Amino acid sequence: MRSLVVDDEFVALSKLKTLLEAYGQVDTAFDGPRALELFRQALEARNPYHLVTLDIEMPGMDGVNLLRNLVQEEHIRGAMLSRKIMVTAASSKANVWMSLLAKCDAFLVKPVRREVLEKHLAALGLVVPGQAPA
């Protein structure tokens, strides 16, 4: 599985990267513009991300706007749709609702626990439930 982790907080980004590395390659970005650049490059190289995790509150471009841009890029290019998970400490109903309207596949609250992440990855068809990561 190829993943992109987007978070402006180093500790959160590092933890999620470590958790996802058990399942495959992980790229990271500290802000929305860089994440969008990496996402576009992956699409152009015909090596799209299977999973993108996004923080809601980031400088430059918030997670919801980034999410909208990612969905638009996939639509324009007719690309395979990646799974997108919003990962944030800001778990208000408004944030959940905005994320879902922007085509988010799941919503996780920080700090992310391995078991919860794996449950969501399995529900999205990205991993086999109960199978140990590589």
Cα distance between residue 98 and residue 111, in whole Å? 21
Residue owning tokens 């919003």: 86
Contacts of residue 72, defined as CB under 8 A and 6 or more positions apart, other chains included, come to none
Give the count of beta carbons closer than 10 Å to the beta carbon of residue 116.
Answer: 12
Per-residue pLDDT, 43: 95
CA 71 to CA 49: how far, in whole Å? 12
pLDDT at 19: 96
Give pLDDT tens digits along the chain (134 positions): 999 999 999 999 999 999 999 999 999 999 999 999 999 999 999 999 999 999 998 888 999 999 999 999 999 988 888 999 999 887 778 877 788 778 899 999 989 999 999 999 999 999 987 665 65
In degrees rounded to 5, what are phi and psi of residue 116? -70, -45
Is this model's pTM higher than 0.75 or not?
yes
Closest CA relative to residue 62, chosen from 32, 83, 91: 32
Out of 1.20.120.350, 3.40.50.2300, 2.30.40.10, 3.40.50.300, select the CATH number for domain 3-123: 3.40.50.2300
